[in-house]
Structures are given as C-alpha cells and as structure tokens.
Amino acid sequence: MVAWRGPLSFRVYNPNKPDKFGIKVFELCDSNTAYCSKLDFYTGKRQSSPHGATFDVVEGLIAPYLDCGRTLYVDNYYTSPILFTYLKEHGTLACGTMRMNRQRGPPKEMLPKLKKGDKTVTTLTDGTLNYIRFMDRKEVRILTTAHSVNTVLTGKTNPVTKEPVIKFAAVHNYNKYMGAVDRSDQMVACNAFKRGP
C-alpha cells in the first residue's frame, strides 16, 4: 500500500495496514536481493478472466519469467490449484500457504479444521500438486508444485529437547524465500514521503 490521501478514483481503504488509505500495488520481488522486478497498480475493478482477478495479477507479473525454470513463492491471497497448475504447465514451480475459503474445489480431506494439539498430518498429491496440512501453533496448509512431501533438517536444534528441528521441505523453503516483498518495502520506507494534500 502506497500512502495517498488526495482525491483519486482508485484509492483504496484497508484498515489492517499502517497507512489505511492509499494506492494498492502488487509486486514481484527477487527472493535473494528483494529487488522489485515488476509492479502492477490496482486502478479499480477490471474485467477478469474466468480464473479470477488474483490469477490475472500473478499471470501478468510472472509472464516475462515463465518457461525459465523459476520458483514462485506466494502468500495465501494468491495460492490456488488453478494458478499453480497453469504455472507448472509453463515451466514455473510454485509454493504457497492456503486459505481454504478462497479455494475452488479443494480436496475434501483438507476441509475439516484441525484442533489445537492435533498431531494429524495430511499429505495429498495428484501428480502435479502436493497438499500438506498439519498443526503447528496454528493450522498450516501448504500447496506446492516445487516440493515433494519429504522432510528436511533445518540446521536448527530444539532448545528444550536438544533434538534437530525437522520440517517439510516446502515449509522450510517457504520460510526461507517468502520475505522478499516485505524486505523491499522496508528498504523503500527509508526514503518514503507522504503524498497527497
């Protein structure tokens, strides 16, 4: 969100942001350097494809990088089976957390919510998409085409049990590579100034 309080037809209001009024911007950032390689400004509701507006945003941002063997990490706002299948067909892998109320046709095994303390781990695959669901501090749902359902050593040790910390490869890499947009925003914030009257 780029802060803006002046008159503007596509200015948006988001009560969850520090700057509640502004211009909504979608960014594609490099996970290693946090360099913003492409932007898309929200300028009001537009005609979307049958796959939905969020699919169109991601498709527009990633288009120059398709068929290059890259991996895209997204948050739960963008994650969808349709998008991830499309990206896989165009030589691009993807990984992201899931919000079930935003999904079209999720597997029925993923629908029941887990309760606190539940040790159930659900892993599903259709050959392209891999679903992972488990309970951490809260319920975690991951959709990925970039990882199997294998676990990896994170290189960390549990301070209580002194045992090595093991996570799903998808979760480990998501945590490792998913902060680029936030880091890009932090760097921009150092030189930001208020806009509008």
The model's pLDDT over 42-87, given as tens digits with 9 standing for 90+, comes to: 888 887 888 888 899 999 999 999 999 999 999 888 898 899 999 9
Could you list the beta-strand ranges (E) of the chain.
Answer: 2-3, 12-13, 21-23, 25-29, 36-41, 71-74, 93-97, 122-125, 130-135, 139-144, 151-157, 164-168
Query: Residue 60 in contact with residue 39, Cβ under 8 Å?
Result: no
Helix axes 81-89, 53-62, angle to 10 degrees: 30
Return all residues near 177 (Cβ < 8 A) that are at least 6 apart: 31, 71, 73
Would you state the pLDDT for residue 20?
84
d(CA 187, CA 43): 24
- Name the residue range of residue 14's domain: 1-59
Would you state the pLDDT for residue 183?
74
Residue 189: inside a domain, yes or no?
no
**13-17, 77-81, 169-173, 190-194, range with the lowest pLDDT:** 190-194
- Is there a single domain that holds both residue 73 and residue 44? no
Would you state the pLDDT for residue 146?
92
Task: Say whether pLDDT at 178 is over 80.
Answer: yes
**30-44, 85-99, 182-196, range with the lowest pLDDT:** 182-196
d(CA 143, CA 138): 16
- Is there a single domain that holds both residue 49 and residue 116? no
- For residue 2, give the nearest of 183, 178, 188 by alpha carbon: 188
**37-51, 94-108, 157-171, range with the lowest pLDDT:** 94-108
- Is there a single domain that holds both residue 97 and residue 131? yes
- Is there a single domain that holds both residue 37 and residue 120? no
Mean pLDDT of 17-31: 86
- Is there a single domain that holds both residue 128 and residue 70? yes
- Is there a single domain that holds both residue 78 and residue 150? yes
Would you state the pLDDT for residue 106?
57
pTM: 0.82
**18-22, 35-39, 60-64, 191-195, range with the lowest pLDDT:** 191-195
Tell me the one-letter amino acid at 75.
Answer: D
- Is there a single domain that holds both residue 108 and residue 72? yes
- Is there a single domain that holds both residue 89 and residue 158? yes
Largest CA distance in the chain: 57
- Is there a single domain that holds both residue 12 and residue 55? yes
Return all residues near 169 (Cβ < 8 A) that are at least 6 apart: 147, 148, 150, 151, 152
Give the percent of the chain with pLDDT over 90.
Answer: 27
Confidence of residue 169 (pLDDT cuts 50, 70, 90): very high
- Is there a single domain that holds both residue 46 and residue 100? no
- Is there a single domain that holds both residue 104 and residue 162? yes
Q: Which helix (H) or strand (E) holds 169?
A: helix 169-177
Confidence of residue 8 (pLDDT cuts 50, 70, 90): confident
